[in-house]
């Protein structure tokens, strides 16, 4: 179970890093879709804070969960 959780977190971090490294404009909106990438948004926010993006407009993020409870 721990290996699966580690892999899940690692994949989400890789997605977040890839998105973070992209050239973006202030009007970009980032959609994160489904539970597979549920942690990406929080990782992106952590990266923004860590890299002193406080003087810039925060990334606009949306999250869509495909399945109901």
pLDDT at 66: 83
Mean pLDDT, consecutive 10-residue segments, the chain of 69 residues? 96 97 90 96 94 78 86
pLDDT at 27: 87
Q: Could you tell me how far CA 36 lies from the centroid of its own chain?
A: 11
Query: By C-alpha distance, which of 50, 56, 44, 36 is closest to 17?
Result: 44
Asked if 34 and 68 count as a contact pair (C-beta separation under 8 A), the reply is no
pLDDT at 69: 66
pTM (predicted TM-score)? 0.86
CA–CA dist 47, 20 (Å, integer): 8
């Amino acid at each position: 179970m721990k290996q699966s959780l580690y892999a899940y977190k690692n994949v989400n971090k890789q997605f977040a890093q890839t998105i973070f490294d992209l050239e973006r404009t202030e009007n970009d909106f980032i959609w994160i879709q489904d539970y597979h990438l549920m942690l990406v948004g929080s990782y992106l926010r952590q990266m923004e804070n860590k890299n002193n993006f406080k003087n810039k407009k925060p990334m606009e993020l949306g999250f869509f969960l495909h399945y109901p409870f």
